[in-house]
Amino acid sequence: MPLKKGAVVAVGAVGALGLAVAAGIASIGGKSFGPLLPPPEECRATVNGNTVVLDLEQAESAAVIAGIAVRRGLPPRAATIALATAYQESGLRNLNHGDRDSLGLFQQRPSMGWGTPAQVRDPHYAAWKFYDALVKVKNYQQLAVTVAADKVQRSAFPNAYADHENDARILASALTGQSKAVFSCTVDLASASVEAVGKNGLTPRADAVRRDVLKTFGPVPTGGYAAGGIRSGHMEGSAHYEGRAVDLFVKPISAANTTRGWALAQYLVAHADRLKIRTVIFSDRIWTAGGRSDNGWREYTPPDRPGNRDTLRHLDHVHVDVIED
């Protein structure tokens, strides 16, 4: 007889544990131990009670698409249209194939002037080119998503974009920072080798995060590192002292800069697996990779030490650090 989830197994402890793991149960001898299997690695955005679930690859793609919209100063509506389009065209995956010569997130065709095959398979380039075409559509913000998307794509099935409009709207709200602390990923990072600090005071992994943010969002003031290393100004044990942390400044504190900060913070979480990010902190919230990442954004308690309270609460900057061995 197959075991039912939550069933009590009256066998030896070792045998019961083996059966529990195999069946996905968490009860031995009538005692509950909680979930035995780790949660799946995935990302979720929840806005107004509605949730979108993405795998890690899809989350990275969605975050780039939204990040380019933020960089260009476009409204969230533009990101919604772009995300709905990429959902329909590629499933938010950077495909190396498609109809005829269609490639990439938006299935753009080199033969139709979108760029070289290598270019249209670069998510940053592809998103930029999509927005180039979208902003030329008159009154695109007032058009239905299907209409606006089709004026860019010239699809044989324009109504199909509507199937993804609700999910795209949720992701756009989260990843452009309009909705705060609503996009999170469960990421189980393996340990990595210790890296030497480079000339600019960052390890290669930390510097890769810095460069990735600049590639997506353009000029973002950064700090928390210096040639020769940081020796003071942070709490004891801070990753800044090891060159593993970067601060992304969103000063002065304002509603617009807080929105931008959440776009940056949630982008970093979306790319945590690829960039080996351990921690993201912003505006009284913290996300941590590993065993606690399935808890999403948690309340952050600033250190009890002298200093600017806005800075200690990370209201004026996003902190990000990468893993260590």
What's the predicted TM-score (pTM) here?
A: 0.87
Domains within the chain, CATH numbers bracketed: 1-37 (no CATH), 42-179 (1.10.530), 185-322 (no CATH)
Which H helix or E strand runs over 319? strand 317-322
Distance CA 204, CA 48 (A): 39
Distance CA 325, CA 308 (A): 32
pLDDT in tens, the chain (325 residues): 333 333 333 334 444 444 444 445 555 555 555 555 667 899 999 999 999 999 999 999 999 999 999 999 999 999 999 999 999 999 999 999 988 889 999 999 999 999 999 999 999 999 999 999 999 999 999 999 999 999 998 876 778 888 899 999 999 999 999 999 999 999 988 777 888 899 999 999 999 999 999 999 999 999 999 998 888 888 888 899 999 999 999 999 999 999 999 999 999 999 999 999 999 999 999 999 987 788 899 999 988 887 788 999 999 999 999 998 6
End-to-end CA distance of the chain: 45
Backbone Cα Rg of the chain: 22
Distance CA 77, CA 79 (A): 5
